[in-house]
């Protein structure tokens, strides 16, 4: 059954990339809306039944990853119209603008060149007329030399012991990427080394971590692009104080701080003001967005834990995906296809949430990482030129590793009232060679997308109950509960094994998907003004909060709720009861 939208001949591709027109009032958008209407009464089951080649036609392979997107409610017409949308949004030109160093992050006047960080071909990338590649290579060489010195035990702690433990202090992009990748590469950990990640300003996070480490053997990495972030600076100061007090009995001196603290930042002035020697600072640049920075100096904690050569393999894997993204036509381009199918699900199928479901325990922080990558990038309600976004933008991203999620929230995916799209990710081989665990894991991975696509009809549910021998009144009563509507859209991403290369490719796949979706929705994916207001208000509230046991004046400057909560917390902390 071929679903027909308006014929493409009537479309006017390249009518302009104005998102207002493109998203609300274009032939491309209307064609997709008509496709969605035409498909309303067609099931994915039927689409599979009528086309035995559906899997082959709606799948693509690149950089060690295989993407099956056939379990989305798409047809050739839908894809044609999505391609027309990409054409009207000038996606290819936008891709070129990014890789040529244009300041596409217009609200901050910055280029977006994380691809330059992993281009070992040393292609020239220009920012403001300057080729940044030599500086990238220089900094990478410094990182490697430092990692080698730490691994060889040449860079020692204050009692002469090697630094075998890393505590990375950072938040957001200066935490989530390195943490996620370090966990993902657990099989590559260097024996005897341990990496911890402290992000939350909640002192319990730092205290819990410090209780597990030895000051003599711990290297603190203060990771902050701006070196002004409250959480990171507070944690770094407290860690510094801890080193000096804990190490006092062992003879630590102020001057030893420089052995135990290094910085990853773009802000040399703030780093040296903090007391870290510029020699112990590893630089990156304002054209590296925080959430795209794990490939830069921000990845040093990864390199220290898995070795520099494995860190390089990660970068090379990402580069392989970059090359695919840069050169493949949009119709065969994995990140672009994922982005376009995502737009189809978000804007035409009505998916307001999107689940990331890795069937690999080592990817247990992937969803958290992508929450920042996707939602901080595309969670925008105005387009790049400041107009109200005429269509819905980024869905809510959430997820957990399979099979844990199956026993938690998949109920809602299968039978909830909202339609939720999902990415299922699995390696063919596990690093753990344990009996038939991996076949069991894979059988769940496969069964879930099949179930989400096929569902179970009323007649099938009824037949099952009858076959189970249920009495007629129970069959009637239970049937509605046993129906699965199906038609839940999913992508499946498979790879041979989770290695540094495939992990790099996977992350780059999502980065480019995010970029493409930003172009299609017309938003600036590279700023994050939405995090500012809360930061400013927290600064204002801080002096209104007392220390434990301190009596404070009643707060009056805010709304009744905020005043009331400040007063209640102050009263509890002062030991005065309710406040």
Contacts to ligand F6P by CB under 6 A: 171-174, 224-226, 229, 232, 290-291, 376, 528, 531
Q: Which of 183, 231, 374, 376 is catalytic?
A: 376
Helix (H) or strand (E) holding 281: strand 281-283
Catalytic status, residue 535: yes
What does the block give as tokens for 471?
């009495």
Nearest CB to ligand F6P, comparing residues 410 and 515? 515
Nearest CB to ligand F6P, comparing residues 64 and 173? 173
Catalytic status, residue 482: no
Question: What is the rounded CA–CA span in Å between residue 394 and residue 383?
Answer: 12
Report the number of secondary-structure helices (H) and strands (E) in the chain: 24, 13
Burial 345-368 (b: 16+ CB within 10 A, else e): bbbbbebebbbbbbbbbbbbbbbb
Q: Whole-number minimum distance, CB 307 to ligand F6P, in Å?
A: 24
| Angle made by CA atoms 502, 191, 168, in degrees to the nearest 5 | 70
CA atoms within 13 A on the CB side of 481: 6
Helix (H) or strand (E) holding 197: strand 194-198
Q: Whole-number minimum distance, CB 224 to ligand F6P, in Å?
A: 3
What does the block give as tokens for 578?
């309710």
Torsion angle, alpha carbons of 226, 229, 231, 236, to 10: 50
Nearest CB to ligand F6P, comparing residues 71 and 291? 291
Per the listing, tokens 């060889």 go with 152
| 540 CB burial (10 A radius; 0-12, 13-18, 19+) | exposed
Three-state SS across 233-250?
A: HHHHHHHHHHHHHHCHHH
Nearest CB to ligand F6P, comparing residues 164 and 524? 524
CA atoms within 13 A on the CB side of 285: 23
Nearest CB to ligand F6P, comparing residues 180 and 330? 180
Q: Whole-number minimum distance, CB 231 to ligand F6P, in Å?
A: 8
- Collapsing DSSP states into helix, strand and coil, what is residue 536? helix
Do 30 and 45 meet the contact criterion of CB atoms below 8 Å apart? Answer: no
Nearest CB to ligand F6P, comparing residues 172 and 215? 172
Burial 474-491 (b: 16+ CB within 10 A, else e): ebeeebeeebbebbbbbb
Nearest CB to ligand F6P, comparing residues 201 and 451? 201
Q: Whole-number minimum distance, CB 68 to ligand F6P, in Å?
A: 32
Q: Which of 161, 407, 437, 539 is catalytic?
A: 407
Nearest CB to ligand F6P, comparing residues 249 and 533? 533
The distance in angstroms from the start CA to the end CA of the chain is 68
Q: Which of 275, 377, 348, 334 is nearest to 491 (CA)?
A: 334
Q: Which of 328, 281, 269 is nearest to 91 (CA)?
A: 328
What does the block give as tokens for 499?
């290695």
What does the block give as tokens for 322?
């970059």
CA 45 to mean position of chain CA atoms: 31
Nearest CB to ligand F6P, comparing residues 173 and 402? 173
Catalytic status, residue 53: no
Q: Which of 161, 437, 440, 535 is catalytic?
A: 535
Nearest CB to ligand F6P, comparing residues 152 and 533? 533
For the four alpha carbons of 102, 105, 106 and 110, in that order, the dihedral sign comes to: negative
Taking CA atoms, 520 is separated from 4, 115, 341, in Å, by: 23, 20, 11
Question: What is the rounded CA–CA span in Å between residue 421 and residue 398?
Answer: 11
Question: What is the rounded CA–CA span in Å between residue 513 and residue 374?
Answer: 9
- Residues with active-site annotation: 376, 407, 535
């Amino acid at each position: 059954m071929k679903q027909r939208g308006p014929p493409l001949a009537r479309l006017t591709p390249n009518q302009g990339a104005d998102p207002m027109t493109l998203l609300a009032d274009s032939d491309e958008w209307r064609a997709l809306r008509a496709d969605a209407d035409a498909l309303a009464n067609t099931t994915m089951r039927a689409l599979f039944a009528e086309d035995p080649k559906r899997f082959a036609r709606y799948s693509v392979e690149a950089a060690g990853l295989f993407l099956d997107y056939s379990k989305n409610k798409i047809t050739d017409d839908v894809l044609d119209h999505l391609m027309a949308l990409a054409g009207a949004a000038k996606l290819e030109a936008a891709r070129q603008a990014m890789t040529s160093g244009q300041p596409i992050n217009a609200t901050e006047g910055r280029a977006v060149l994380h691809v330059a960080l992993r281009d070992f071909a040393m292609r020239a990338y220009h920012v403001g007329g300057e080729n940044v590649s030599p500086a990238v290579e220089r900094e990478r060489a410094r990182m490697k030399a430092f990692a080698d010195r730490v691994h060889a035990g040449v860079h020692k702690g204050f009692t002469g012991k090697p630094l075998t433990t890393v505590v990375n202090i950072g938040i957001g992009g200066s935490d989530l990427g390195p943490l996620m990748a370090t966990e993902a590469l657990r099989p590559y950990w260097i024996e005897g080394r341990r990496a911890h990640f402290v992000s939350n300003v909640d002192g319990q996070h730092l205290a819990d971590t410090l209780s597990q480490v030895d000051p003599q053997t711990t290297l603190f990495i203060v990771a902050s692009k701006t070196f002004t972030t409250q959480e990171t600076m507070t944690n770094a100061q407290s860690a510094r104080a801890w080193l000096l007090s804990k190490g006092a009995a062992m003879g630590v001196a102020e001057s030893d701080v420089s052995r135990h603290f290094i910085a990853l930042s773009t802000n040399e002035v703030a780093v040296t003001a903090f007391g870290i020697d510029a020699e112990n600072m590893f630089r990156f640049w304002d054209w590296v967005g925080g959430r795209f920075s794990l490939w830069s100096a921000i990845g040093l904690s990864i390199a220290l834990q898995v070795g520099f050569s494995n860190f390089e393999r990660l970068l090379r894997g990402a580069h392989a995906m970059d090359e695919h993204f840069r050169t493949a036509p949009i119709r065969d381009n994995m990140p672009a296809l994922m982005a376009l199918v995502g737009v189809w699900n978000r804007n035409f199928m009505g998916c307001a949430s999107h689940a990331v479901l890795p069937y690999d325990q080592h990817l247990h922080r992937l969803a958290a990482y992508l929450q920042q990558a996707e939602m901080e990038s595309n969670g925008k309600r105005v387009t790049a030129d400041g107009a109200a976004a005429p269509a819905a933008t980024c869905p809510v991203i959430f997820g957990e590793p399979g099979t844990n999620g199956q026993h938690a929230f998949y109920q809602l995916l299968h039978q909830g009232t909202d339609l939720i799209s999902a990415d299922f990710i699995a390696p063919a081989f596990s690093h753990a060679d344990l009996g038939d665990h991996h076949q069991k894991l894979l059988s769940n991975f496969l069964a879930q997308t099949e179930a989400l696509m096929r569902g179970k009809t009323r007649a099938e549910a009824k037949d099952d109950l009858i076959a189970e021998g249920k009495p007629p009144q129970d069959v009637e009563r239970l049937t509605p509960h046993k129906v699965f509507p199906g038609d839940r859209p999913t992508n499946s991403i498979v790879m041979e094994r989770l290695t540094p290369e495939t992990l790099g490719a996977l992350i780059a796949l999502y980065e480019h998907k995010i970029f493409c979706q930003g172009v299609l929705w017309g938003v600036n994916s590279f700023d994050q003004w939405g995090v500012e207001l809360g930061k400013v208000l927290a600064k204002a509230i801080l002096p209104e909060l007392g220390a434990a046991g301190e009596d404070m004046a009643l707060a009056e400057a805010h709304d009744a709720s905020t005043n009331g909560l400040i007063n209640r917390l102050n009263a509890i902390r002062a030991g005065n009861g309710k406040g």
